[in-house]
Structure 1
Amino acid sequence: MEFSITKIEEIANVKGGKRLPKGESLITSPTDHPYIRLVDIENNQVNERDLQYLTSSVYQKISKYIVEEDNVCLAVVGHTIGLVFYINSNMHGANLTENAVRLIIDKKQANPRFIYYYLNSEKGQAKILSRKVGSAQGKLPLYNIKSLEIPLPSLKSQNKIVSILKYLDEKIDTNYLMINNLEQISQTLFKHWFIDFEFPNEEGKPYKSSGGEMVESELGEIPKGWSVKYLSENVDFLSGGTPKTKEESYWHGTIPFFTPKDAKNNLYTTTTEKSITDLGLEKCNSKLYPKNTLFITARGTVGKLALANRPMAMNQSCFALKHKDDKQFYLYNIVDNLVKEIILGANGAVFNAINLNDLKRLKYAYSNEQVIANFENTVSRFYEKMSLLEEENINLQQLRDTLLPKLLSGEIEIPDDLEV
């Protein structure tokens, strides 16, 4: 495939985002003015779940710094350099953090999605990181973005490449939607049974609304026969550790090594930023935790949860939780409902770390074992499906990321009759 080497500035305007005016802050109540932070980026798109917003008065002060549909955005500060995300129609008009820039692509010369795919490719990422300046956190200056060179085939060829890669992206998005729906179903069922106490009674009817007897407890009213227990009575809290980072033989093996950075917004964690060898596992304080182990982050971003989608080790900034009767999906929902209590102190201040005692003091309403078993059996097929979908998405992402260089090099030819 023929292509020309083109600088970003020749096909796009590069514009920075904007920090909040001094003394102003974001709000959680939705307005017409969402503000995109780098923590809102998941799977190279804006995750709307935890978006924060500007008031109208603050928006007027920084209204020039908005993104538009089909903009390609790059993170330019610290460890996030190399993060590339695409602006879809639902984020058109949102404000952009000062920690990112946006590329306004000339669509007569380039397909914005082609630029997005290239910058996310292995070669694109290497070029971005090579242009970082400064020590420690570092930054990516605008002039280094503008002068970044990319291979640009004809617009017709770009469109064909995009049609192939976008098909894979759409399949990935469909899988994520299915995962989110299954997780919501599981959470709704958990709330119905264990928070609202509407689990099926002996006649199969909702317990509380059908006149089920309730009794007082230190946590409020609970069904008769239930009790208040410490989480530690039914859960083992296990620790992790890190092998020596300078010992090369301990690292870059086949064992995923979970750290707080790997706790994304996905339910399951399948791949991790770091990996260790069998020898590295022997030389650290972490066990090899089995699939469906529940991880909770204890430092940094405190209280993030993730289920292991394959056996993996873990560093000392997390805890691994194992239900003593192997009711891991029930445990996940219990802990998910206790997270706010975990990360808030007695005075309401947010903890920047949690320790073993913070976990051991947690109490919850414990039902009888049959109700728990019924819940676990009901939702287990949902979690198994979510696990498979996560695995499929990893494979699709790897396929997508390996296709682009093969298409550009001509190793894989695009049929002339491919419809775009």
Structure 2
Amino acid sequence: MPRGDKAAIMQYKFFLPEISQQRKIGSDLLTINKKIELNRQTNQTLEQIAQAIFKSWFVDFEPVKAKIAAKQAGATAEQIERAAMCAISGKTLDQLEQLDPDTLQQLKTTAALFPDALVDSELGEIPEGWSFIPLYETAKYVNGSAFKASDFSSDEEGLPIIKIAELKQGISAGTKFTKSVRPDKYFIRNDDVLYSWSGSPETSLDIFKWFGGDGWLNQHIFKLNFSSKEQKYFTYYLLKHMKPVLVATAKQKQTTGLGHVTIADMKRMKVPFPSVNLLSNFCQVVSSLYLKGSELVKENHTLTNIRGSLLPKLLSGEFIIGSEQTN
């Protein structure tokens, strides 16, 4: 391995701001770091809330089971709907009475979309009237393009090639760029949804919202195309929920530390699929959570870029902080 010249390194001279400036630089960077972490935690909370709703409606079928239990207890039609409303909202019957009329009506509308029976299927029991479809049919999955070393440009010319590293860390000094032009299906832009299907199963297989700007998608990552917002939100949270299953599938084929989920796997996996009206209602419920989370991700990209460009300029004395000049 190549080694640096320790003596030469120790003699390297650099600009050192006054201690007051060092403290101001540290304070400014700490403020940015705190905001990035706060955004990350808030986004995680939003994801957890949306995932809880998804699991209740489309995995555990809690509103359906609440109706079944009330029906078996001899409840009236209104009481059956109220039971589902409690399951959807997480509130008691007494607490429902305290809700404003608009919220109560929204709950009634949602509850009416759930059936009051489960039926047998090849997946086990699913709500009456629902279907089941292969995971691969929940979106149009387009695999990225294969790039060779000869495709890379010098001096960051062209567009970035988006690999798993960029999905996890954003554009960095290690990002490769290319001036080559590929078919439009490989082109990605802000707000695209991407799924990394190959790599180290525990750390690489996941679904991502992309907000790193225009780029070309590398192989081993799917770009997901959707026919509607309803399909987008449902599939995004479905893949989030299915991550443990997909990771376990990849581990079964893991070699030299890498594993993958194939198209054949995704065609084999079946998922319950609700009615169009319920899918639309789910979209209305989680859209604010999804969009707010996206805004936080975008803000963190901006803050990270500011931090990355600000630090060297502050340390070199190029920027003026407060009323004092640093060089």
Paired with 2:63 and 2:189, the residues of 1 have a C-alpha distance of: 30
Shift of 1:363: 0.6
Determine if contact 1:254/1:275 at 8 Å carries over to the other structure. Answer: no
Deviation at 1:234, TM superposition (A): 3.6
Q: Indicate which of 15, 18, 29 corresponds to 1:165.
A: 29
Give, in whole Å, the separation in 2 of the partners of 1:219 and 1:390: 35
AA aligned to 1:221 is E
| Change in 2 beyond 3 A, CA 1:233/1:175 | closer
2:60 counterpart (154, 171, 196)? 196
- Tell me if 1:378 matches 2:256: no
Relative to 1, partners in 2 of residues 1:320 and 1:250: Cα closer, same or farther, differing over 3 Å? farther
Tell me how far apart the structure 1 counterparts of residues 194 and 85 of structure 2 sit (CA, whole Å).
32
Displacement of 1:162 in angstroms is 0.7
- Greater RCO between the two (CA within 8 Å, min separation 6)? 2
Report the counterpart of residue 259 of structure 1 in structure 2.
163
Picking from 281, 290, 300, the partner of 2:199 is: 300
1:190-229 mapped onto 2 (5 Å cutoff): 190-199=54-63, 203=81, 206=84, 212-229=116-133
2:190 and 2:210 in contact (8 A); partners too: yes
Q: How far, CA to CA, are the matches of 1:204 and 1:341 in structure 2?
A: 34
Structure 2 unpaired stretches of 5+: 68-79, 88-110
Contact 2:189 / 2:215 at 8 angstroms: preserved in 1?
Answer: yes
Conserved in 2, the CA contact under 8 Å of 1:260 and 1:301?
no
Deviations 1:227-279 (A, max 9, x none): 22212334222121134432455993564432122332xxxx864753645x5
The 3-state SS of whatever aligns with 1:215 is: strand
Partners of 2:35 and 2:11 in 1: how far apart? 31
Letter in 1 for 2:194: F
Matched, 1:330 2:208: no
Distance 2:155 2:260 in 1: 27
Which SS does the other structure have where 2:297 is aligned?
helix
> Of 215, 219, 226, which residue of structure 2 is paired with 1:316?
219
- Contact 2:153 2:176 survives alignment (8 Å): no
Matched, 1:389 2:288: no
Query: C-alpha displacement at 1:175, in angstroms?
Result: 1.5
Call closer, same or farther: CA 1:230–1:261 in 2, change over 3 Å.
same
Q: Give secondary structure in 1 for the equivalent of 2:129.
A: coil
CA distance in 2 between counterparts of 1:152 and 1:353 reads 48
Q: Indicate conservation of the 8 Å contact 1:197/1:207, yes or no.
A: no
1:213 deviates by 1.3
Tell me how far apart the structure 2 counterparts of residues 250 and 324 of structure 1 sit (CA, whole Å).
Answer: 38
- Aligned-partner residue type, residue 158 of structure 1: Q
Aligned ranges for residues 65-214 of structure 1 at < 5 Å? Answer: 133-134=1-2, 147=10, 151-199=15-63, 203=81, 206=84, 212-214=116-118
Mapped to 1, the partners of 2:11 and 2:82 lie a distance apart of 65
Task: Report what 2:181 is aligned to.
Answer: 281
Q: State how 1:26-65 maps to structure 2 within 5 Å.
A: none
Measured after TM superposition, the shift of residue 357 of structure 1 is 0.9
Distance (whole Å) between structure 2 residues aligned to residue 356 and residue 336 of structure 1: 18
1:378 corresponds to which letter in structure 2?
Answer: V
Matched, 1:230 2:134: yes
Match of 1:353 in 2: 260
**Are the structure 2 counterparts of residues 402 and 313 from structure 1 closer, same or farther at C-alpha, using a change threshold of 3 Å?**
closer
Check conservation: 1:250, 1:281, Cα contact below 8 A. no
Residues 119 and 125 in structure 2, CA contact (< 8 A), matched pair in contact too: yes
Q: Deviations over 1:70-111 (max 9, x none)?
A: xxxxxxxxxxxxxxxxxxxxxxxxxxxxxxxxxxxxxxxxxx
Hey, what does 1:111 align to over in structure 2? none
Paired letter, 1:374: N
Letter in 2 for 1:301: S
Alignment root-mean-square deviation, CA:
3.7
2:20 maps to a residue whose letter is: K
What is the rounded CA distance, in whole Å, between the counterparts of 2:317 and 2:249 in structure 1?
A: 59
| Aligned counterparts of 1:256 and 1:220: Cα–Cα separation in 2 | 45
Residue 289 of structure 1 deviates from its aligned partner by 3.6
- Could you report, residue by residue, the CA deviation over 1:175-228 in whole angstroms, capped at 9, with x for unpaired residues? 212211111111111112111213588947537969921122222222111122
Contact 2:51 2:241 in 1 (8 A): no
Structure 1 residue 386, shift from structure 2 partner: 1.9
Q: Is the contact between residue 251 and residue 275 of structure 1 (CA under 8 Å) also seen in structure 2? A: no
Unmatched tracts of structure 1, length 5 or more: 1-132, 135-139
Shift of 1:366: 1.0
How many Å separate the matches in 1 of 2:82 and 2:214?
38
Structure having the higher helix fraction is 2
Deviations 1:285-344 (A, max 9, x none): 952245444322232224222122355431122222334444212101112222333333
Q: Is residue 344 of structure 1 aligned with residue 248 of structure 2?
A: yes
Q: Matched residues in 1 for 2:18 and 2:166: separation?
A: 38
Distance 2:137 2:225 in 1: 11
TM (norm. structure 1) is 0.55
CA gap of 1:291–1:226, structure 2 versus 1, over 3 A, is: farther
Decide whether the 8 Å contact of 2:226 with 2:232 is kept in 1. yes
